[in-house]
């Protein structure tokens, strides 16, 4: 009879990981052999215990990866959100969300083609899970990272072939910035969804943008004026801020732009390209909190 908690080979086993992995199931077994009152208390704490177990598993993976161990994995697309299931040779599995990109959302044009492309890149291949300082967990417990397909990452290949756009968050800024040149090449060549009219650089015309509320879009236009309030700074793309397209930045986030050398208040009259989630706030609006969401096109 096999052990309920097999010990991994020593060379892939971070110190004390075996005892940590084995204790958790034994605690649960003991708890559920207890009287009903004890069982009820344990069940009340199970959601938090499960979340802790996920964090422990991912932490052990990253500890091993930092030592150059257990990085070779098999992977396949997990669902229509573009999440990737990554499995080690020892049978451990975690869920990966690709860093630095935005895929077409489920139910939108191009989504099926993007998912098919991911499947074609991962089918039957052994890949390497990348470990770096930008890796983190999203609020759903998914690891944010990338896969090395042999000379190029999966995120880079998706952008180069026109099935994803570069898209950054505050702690994946470098990843998305590196993908912008690949996105430009795909756009100019009309590759993938750029050629199919799915990915488009849109004008700041508010009536057109109203058709794309609650979606990620890339907008290009001239900043007409700057609005500076106590809480926010606004880049206005028209003369009527109540209806025209606006980019909004919280004042507490402006330091990030200054540190990168981007003077937001000097953008008046310049043509810029901005990407983000469009909301209806006094007309179409995008809120941003780091400079990689802006490309300045005219000096």
Q: What is the pLDDT of residue 52?
A: 53
Strands 271-280 and 216-222: antiparallel
pTM for the complete prediction? 0.76
Burial of 224 (0-12, 13-18, 19+ CB in 10 A): middle
CA dist 247 and 267 (Å) reads 12
Residue 173 has a pLDDT of: 87
Looking at the chain, the whole-number percentage of residues with pLDDT higher than 90 is 62
In terms of pLDDT, which residue wins out, 144 or 183? 183
| Predicted confidence (pLDDT) per residue in 145-154, tens digit | 999 998 899 9
pLDDT at 15: 32
Neighbours of 111 (CB within 10 A): 19
pLDDT for 42 equals 39
- Measured between alpha carbons, how far is 111 from 80 in angstroms, rounded to an integer? 8
More confident of the two residues 69 and 211: 211
Give me 91's structure tokens.
């049978």
DSSP one-letter code for 8: P
pLDDT surpasses 90 at 88: no
Mean pLDDT of 134-159: 88
Q: Which residue has the higher pLDDT, 62 or 142?
A: 142
Beta strands in the chain, from DSSP E residues, in sequence order:
72-77, 84-87, 93-98, 101-102, 126-129, 136-137, 143-145, 147-148, 165-166, 201-202, 216-222, 225-228, 232-236, 246-250, 271-280, 284-287, 294-296
* Mean pLDDT computed over 236-265: 96
Return the residue matching tokens 């097999």: 6
Tokens representing 213 are 């509320």
pLDDT of the residue at 169 = 87
Range in 22-36, 107-121, 125-139, 226-240 with the lowest mean pLDDT: 22-36
pLDDT band at 91 (very low <50, low <70, confident <90, very high): confident
pLDDT at position 66, please? 43
């Amino acid at each position: 009879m096999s052990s309920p908690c097999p010990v991994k080979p020593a060379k892939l086993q971070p110190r004390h990981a075996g005892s940590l992995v084995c204790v958790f199931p034994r605690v649960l077994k003991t708890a559920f052999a207890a009287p009903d009152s004890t069982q009820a208390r344990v069940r009340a704490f199970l959601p938090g215990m499960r979340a802790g177990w996920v964090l422990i598993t991912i932490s052990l993976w990253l500890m091993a990866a930092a030592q150059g161990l257990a990085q070779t994995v098999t992977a396949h697309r997990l669902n229509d959100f573009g999440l990737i299931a990554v499995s080690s040779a020892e049978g451990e599995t975690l869920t990966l969300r690709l860093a630095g990109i935005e895929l077409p959302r489920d139910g939108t044009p191009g989504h099926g083609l993007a998912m098919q492309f991911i499947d074609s890149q991962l089918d039957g291949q052994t890949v390497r899970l990348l470990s770096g300082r930008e890796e983190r967990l999203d609020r759903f417990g998914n690891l944010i990272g990338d896969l090395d397909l042999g000379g190029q990452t999966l995120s880079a290949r998706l952008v180069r072939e026109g099935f994803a756009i570069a898209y950054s968050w505050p702690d994946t800024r470098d990843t998305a910035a590196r993908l912008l040149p690949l996105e430009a090449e795909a756009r100019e060549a009309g590759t993938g969804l750029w050629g199919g009219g799915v990915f488009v650089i849109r004008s700041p015309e508010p009536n057109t943008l109203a058709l794309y509320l609650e979606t990620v879009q890339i907008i290009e236009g001239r900043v007409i004026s700057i609005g500076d309030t106590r809480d926010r700074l606004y880049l206005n793309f028209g003369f009527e801020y109540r209806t025209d397209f606006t980019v909004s930045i919280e004042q507490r986030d402006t330091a990030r732009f200054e540190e990168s050398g981007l003077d937001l208040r000097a953008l008046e009259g310049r043509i810029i390209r901005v990407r983000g989630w469009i909301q209806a706030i006094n007309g179409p609006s995008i809120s941003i909190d780091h400079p990689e969401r802006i490309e300045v096109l005219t000096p």
